[in-house]
Amino acid sequence: MSYADAFRFGGRSAWMLIAGFVAVAAVSAMLVTRTAELRYERDVNRMVFNDNLGVLEEVRAKLGTTTDSLKSVLASAPVAAADQPYIVVSIAERKIWFKRGNTVLFQAPVATGSGKEFVSGTNRYRFQTPRGRLVVQQKQVNPAWVPPDWHYQEQAKKRGLGVVKLSRNESVPTGDGGLIYASGSELVKRSANGTIVSLGGGSEDREVVAGGNIIIPPFGTNARRYEGVLGTRRLTLGDGYGIHGTNKPETVGQAVSHGCVRMRNEDIERLFEMVPVGTPVYLY
């Protein structure tokens, strides 16, 4: 074989090799695209069948959706039996319906998320009622509210105070020679003279303050348990969201909550008796 023939043969091999790489790259790109599509489909299914609101927000962000409609939510949800009751919440109209088929069994006004944004350090919170399909997971009588950290941060900002997060086995100085710390289920204060007193249960707008800071109590303490804030009944929906009563009935009909659906106590008590665990809840 001459050098020219060898070059031509090598050239053809090189071009065949390049063509092979191109074909493999194209197939790989198609597979990556299809994999992404399948992941989106999987996530959408998780949004519909799972009450994980983090997944819902993640999928909405990926797909670039900013609004939902009840029609689209119902279209993507599994078809319920004709006799299965369900709850519908209109965030815009601030109303709730309990229905079976087209028959309205109960309706009432509600309060929904304010939509306001709160920023604390690197954390950003938007207080809005989620859209999508959820499920009543649990029914609670006289529920207590266990505030997230953002509640204390929000209160501190409103009142011009700092924030100190108290962990168990730690203490916070009071500025007068005393200490505040957790003892079992109690948040206690030990004075400079050794006297120890319980600081009692938590109360909205009456958080424990020491040295110009609002104290974030450890979970499991009574100071982090607020009675009465959620009214007399709650239908839990997961991820901290729920449909519940309120100690501020004048707010019903407004967009003022941190994301939950509020009802007057007399209304949630009626709905509570009608709704079984497992009832679908459509929020739009």
Strand, helix or coil at 184? coil
Give the pLDDT confidence score for residue 198 in this predicted structure. 93
Q: What is the mean pLDDT of the chain?
A: 80
Whether the predicted pLDDT of 203 surpasses 90: no
Does the pLDDT value for residue 215 go beyond 50?
yes
The pair of structure tokens assigned to 161 is: 């105070």
List of E strands, 47-146 = 85-90, 95-100, 103-109, 112-113, 117-120, 123-126, 132-135, 138-141, 144-145
What's the whole-number mean pLDDT along residues 12-22?
A: 55
Under the banding of pLDDT at 50, 70 and 90, the label for residue 36 is very low
Q: Where is pLDDT greater, at 199 or 55?
A: 199
Average pLDDT over residues 240-255: 96
- Continuous H helices in the chain: 3-49, 53-63, 70-76, 149-159, 265-274
- Calculate the CA 19 to chain-centre distance: 51
Tokens matching residue 22:
């191109």
Separation of alpha carbons 177 and 114, rounded Å: 42
Write out the two tokens for 230. Answer: 């959620």
Q: Which two tokens stand for residue 204?
A: 């909205």
Mean pLDDT to the nearest integer, 235-247:
93
In this predicted structure, what is the pLDDT of residue 112? 97
Which range (18-22, 73-77, 104-108, 204-208) has the least confidence? 73-77
pLDDT in tens, 126-156: 899 999 999 999 999 999 999 999 999 999 9
Residue 13, pLDDT above cutoff 80? no
Looking at residue 244, its pLDDT comes to 98
Identify the pLDDT of residue 239.
81
* Torsions phi, psi for 142 (to 5 deg): 50, 55
Residue 46 pLDDT > 80: no
Give the model's pLDDT for residue 32.
Answer: 45
Burial 26-46 (b: 16+ CB within 10 A, else e): eeeeeeeeeeeeeeeeebbee
**Between 19 and 151, where is the model more confident?**
151
Answer for the pair 277, 132: CB distance below 8 angstroms, yes or no. Answer: no
